[in-house]
Amino acid sequence: MTCSKFFSYKLVVVALLLLNSCKPANEIPPEIAGHAAFDYVKKLVAFGNRFSGTSEYLMQADFIAETASAYGCKVNFQDFVEQTAKGKIKFRNIVADIKGKSDFYLIISTHCDLKELSGVNFQGANDGASGVAVILEMIRTLKSSGLIPPVSLRFIFFDGEECQFEYSDQDGLFGSRWYVASMTEYERSKCLGVINLDMVGDRDLQIAIPANGDHALTELALNAAAAGGNGEYFRRSSQHIIDDHRPFLKSGIPAINLMDFEFGPANSYWHTEEDNIEKISPESLEIVGNTVFLMIWRIKK
């Protein structure tokens, strides 16, 4: 290498570095604070048994709506009644919108109901509260950052994800099935996809993206995790999972489920008293929230 070539090489490097530092700040997503998300989990579990159709569920719904609204979301309840194996139940989805730079939008969803099991009293810190907490903290972070997301965001907190007896077209996924059926042609045409979060707080975080998920969104998630330095916590799974992403997939809308379905040894904490605040960590919530932010900032419109 001659001196002049070395000099020009250095110039190119400096120019590239300058270009990089001149990128508009909006190209870099904000980052959530894990401890703040963890505080939301504590507040959510304090509502007690958030079973569909109960006053505890409705109080939690008010809390979610008030929090999202306080941080700039336009919030709507989607109320509906369904005949279930346990009689008629009033369900309530919570839908919170943030306008982005484009009318195209991503749905970031989770369920906020708690599984009702006789004889088992559990907090649902992971199964129920963790996804809600990550989304509420994402909303708070967006507001405090002052950044406008590259696409619009629709955050949905689904009621009735948990089945009462056994998943079927009449049991479980009540909120997401109802929501998908209610979508207008316009809403469908502008929807870029769905990122559903469920059980994302495990201290030993291993997000295994189910095989029944959109290929491009799965790639986006894995690439975003790697870009954020969190690739080791995300992988593909060969399992098919029944969760709120499924009604979207069935109706032709791209969707994935970010879920760690190995909660404790052989998933032994799932739907037991072991699903409590001690078993989840701020770090795991932060990893998931920041990966979703990177996905939002990288999605192709």
Residues of 151-183 as b/e, b for ≥16 C-beta within 10 angstroms?
bbbbbbbbbbbbbbeeeeeebbbbbbbbbbeee
- Min. distance of Cβ 63 from Zn ion in angstroms? 20
Count, residues in the chain = 301
Contact between 243 and Zn ion by CB under 5 A: the answer reads: no
Judged by CB under 5 A, how many residues of this single chain contact Zn ion? 2
Q: What share of the chain is helix, strand, coil (3-state, %, to 5)?
A: 45, 20, 40
* Helix/strand/coil for 48: coil
Among 80, 110, 127, 248, interactor with Zn ion by CB under 5 A: 127
For residues 127 and 214, which CB has a smaller minimum distance to Zn ion in the complex? 127
Among 50, 92, 115, 246, interactor with Zn ion by CB under 5 A: 115
In this chain, which residue has its C-beta nearest to Zn ion?
A: 127
Q: Which stretch binds Zn ion (CB under 5 A): 27-35, 123-131, 206-214, 276-284?
A: 123-131
Taking a C-beta distance cutoff of 8 angstroms, is the pair 153, 195 a contact? Answer: no
- Min. distance of Cβ 137 from Zn ion in angstroms? 21
- Min. distance of Cβ 257 from Zn ion in angstroms? 13
For residues 104 and 270, which CB has a smaller minimum distance to Zn ion in the complex? 270
For residues 96 and 125, which CB has a smaller minimum distance to Zn ion in the complex? 125
Q: For residue 91, what are the contacts with CB-CB under 8 A and spacing of at least 6?
A: 52, 53, 79, 80, 81, 82, 159, 160, 174, 175, 178
Phi, psi at 153, each rounded to 5°: -125, 130
For residues 64 and 112, which CB has a smaller minimum distance to Zn ion in the complex? 112
- Min. distance of Cβ 133 from Zn ion in angstroms? 16
Q: How many CB atoms lie within 10 A of CB 18?
A: 9
- Residues in contact with Zn ion by CB under 5 A are 115, 127
